[in-house]
Chains A and B, each alone.
Chain A
């Protein structure tokens, strides 16, 4: 297990199209998070799963965004009807229940909406 994997690394899409990103967390981690980061800013929290249950969602997560984590393993983040303002790096992280070891982030999916 080499860490958190995200796919694709880069995605360019036209405004109005739907996109889906995948995250494979560290297998022992039951917690999974999605964050969004724009240039010059720190990551912003989007949503959190414990196993397959989505327990927290940010006000930033509009109804065009949906996330799933079937069977408590990998997760997907879908953005419908993309807008130029959705252009950002989408980061996935996973963790154990303790925060002592922090969260392990993936390398992210860079989304560009043209």
Chain B
């Protein structure tokens, strides 16, 4: 069964304290891995798509990397406005167009 596991469930950081979020996946053929940010009461906001092991993408303080078993979202020198829930999702060969989401990591950054 295709599944996505994110860790930790919650993460508290001080402003400027860099860290990484983990997304491990088990799928029957990966077509793409997606990172989204979700603020309370809003829909997920697209961040990155990764397609193959070794691929990396960056946006401001965020950098996403992909291996054959997991993906990391690195947050460098976070600011309070980076506080949100970060969701990882995969699109698998046997699952059509559906994105299979993890439960997310809730990040809190304090000043």
A interface residues, Cβ below 8 angstroms from B: 4, 31, 33, 35, 40-45, 48, 55-56, 58, 91, 93, 99-108, 110
Contact = CB atoms under 8 A, between A and B. Distances in A.
A105 B99 contact: no
Q: How large is the interface on B (under 10, 10 to 19, 20 to 34, 35 or more residues)?
A: 20 to 34
Instruction: Give chain B's interface secondary structure class.
Output: strand
B49 interface: yes
A19 B77 CA distance: 45
A44 B45 contact: no
A88 B44 CA distance: 15
Given A42-B102, A99-B32, A102-B36, A107 B97 contact: no
Interface of B: 4, 31-32, 34, 36, 41-49, 87, 89, 91, 96-104
Given A42-B101, A56-B96, 6 more contacts: A4-B43, A40-B103, A45-B98, A93-B43, A102-B47, A105-B44
A26 to B, nearest CB: 12
Contacts of B36: 102, 105
B10 to A, nearest CB: 11
Contacts, number: 65
A101 B51 CA distance: 12
Given A102-B49, A104-B46, A31 B97 contact: yes
8 contacts: A43-B44, A43-B99, A45-B100, A91-B43, A99-B31, A101-B46, A104-B46, A107-B41
A103 B99 CA distance: 10
Contact of A103 (B46, B102, B103): B46
The 3 closest A-B pairs by CB, nearest first: A42-B101, A105-B43, A102-B46
Given A41-B103, A102-B34, A58 B98 contact: yes
